[in-house]
Amino acid sequence: MTLDTLSGWARRLQAGEISSRELTELYLDRIERLDPDINSFVTVTREQALAAADAADQRLARGERAPLLGLPVAQKDIFCTRGVRTSCGSRMLDAFVAPYDASVVERMNAAGAVMLGKTNMDEFAMGSSNETSHYGPVLNPWDPERVPGGSSGGSAAAVAARLVPAATGTDTGGSIRQPAAFCGVTGLKPTYGRVSRYGMIAFASSLDQGGPMAASAEDCALMLNAMAGFDSRDSTSLERPDEDFTAGLDRDLKGLRIGLPREYFGDGLHADVRRAVQDALAVLRERGAEPVEISLPNSDLSVPAYYVVAPAECSSNLARYDGVRFGHRCNDPRDLMDLYTRSRAEGFGAEVKRRIMIGTYVLSAGYYDAYYLKAQKVRRLIAEDFRRAFEQVDVIAGPTTPELPFRLGEKSADPVRMYLSDIYTIAANLAGLPGLSMPAGTIGSLPVGLQLIGNYFDEGRLLNVAHQFQQETGWHQRMPAAFA
């Protein structure tokens, strides 16, 4: 059977051309056969998925309609799922079975989605390569010797290999957009507060945001319709009118002002990536968009500011994993201090420990003002840069990543080089803005991503621009040869 997109399957389900059970079995079989090659899933929920598919078929037979009714999806293993292990890619939570569903999971279940399983990820979402997972690295479907990006690398790789039509991800500093670029799929980080964080295991609470990953912008719009919405259980959730993100996909781009930050096209950008991005921008110009050169003068401060703010919040959030209430507990502790020390030492991996230590340091007496407070001031400057830019332009565009997917182990011993993989994505998180990455070309067989950043709550515009680009190009339709 020819594989289709999430939106394509939705139309075929509604037309009665295929049943949800047949569709679910198709993807479960692909996961069983092909996932050992890339390690994108931590847990596969076969029986639960088939039961949900049968229930969806009964609803379809009754003529019911729901946004994702009968459609198979995967959840990043950072979202709590009732009765299913939620590990966050860590030994610390290897045995944790969530007693409730995250808001995102609730909303997608209510929309009729069929969950196939939980995808692999960097431990506690800390990483840019998906090499920090307790369950081993995810491999890039385009080249298994290269990383898929992180932390949502499992979701990106599973969608790229067509093991699932769509999956959820989370983005703290680029963790949806960077793996989307490395794996040649479309990924959207919504405005901070647009999607509830309730039941999404916290890394950095002022930065984390859940979002969709799929082959196309149309698929991401369909997913976001189900995911977005106010949740009183999340104090950072924003109350907004309901919005149909598929409604504006077909708007033309005539007169659209696209800002091109000169800082995103300077030193450090791989020459081949630059050419692919410029070719993609030429397609948008042909569709009527007007390029405008802009400046984001404080963008070079985004990485240092992020790596103060994020570890500080991480050190606070991860203090709850102490071997007492839930999570990994060491054997035969001598006393309470030994319980805390050994449980955390055994449960956390090297990158998580590194960020906890950095965060504890910058929050400590005598250093709070020098580091954390100053980073928050820089964060405000970065947000002001965007505010001024959006007085001139409608959308900002540039490369998602400065380079092609790098080789496994290439940056493991050099954290700073690893952190610079997110140099173009972090600023949107610091400012709370929506951002999208879409496939924009290939260098050899490796994908290149084009990033779009929008003003607050302008996800519809980002999806519209991406959809119009994808009407002209076929990059989002390409599949790795080994999985075709």
* Residues belonging to the active site: 76, 151, 175
Nearest to 401 by CA among 458, 446, 354: 446
CA distance 156 to 176: 8
CB-CB contact of 439 with 185 (8 Å): yes
CB-CB contact of 159 with 213 (8 Å): yes
Strands (E), 131-226: 166-170, 186-189, 210-214
CA distance 285 to 292: 11
- Residue 454, SS3? strand
Contacts of 85 (CB under 8 A, 6+ apart): 42, 43, 77, 94, 95, 96, 97, 98, 118
Name the burial class of residue 252, with classes exposed (0-12), middle (13-18) and buried (19+) by CB atoms within 10 angstroms of its CB. Answer: exposed
* Owner of token pair 């009732």: 82
DSSP secondary structure letter of residue 199: T
- Residue 245, SS3? coil
CA distance 77 to 86: 6
Say how many C-beta atoms besides its own lie within 10 A of residue 124's C-beta.
Answer: 29
- Dihedral over alpha carbons 438, 441, 446, 447 (to 10 degrees): 0
CA distance 472 to 461: 17
Contacts of 204 (CB under 8 A, 6+ apart): 172, 309, 310, 311, 313, 314, 317
CA distance 242 to 331: 50
Strands 290-294 and 257-261: parallel
Structure token digits, residue 340: 């805390």
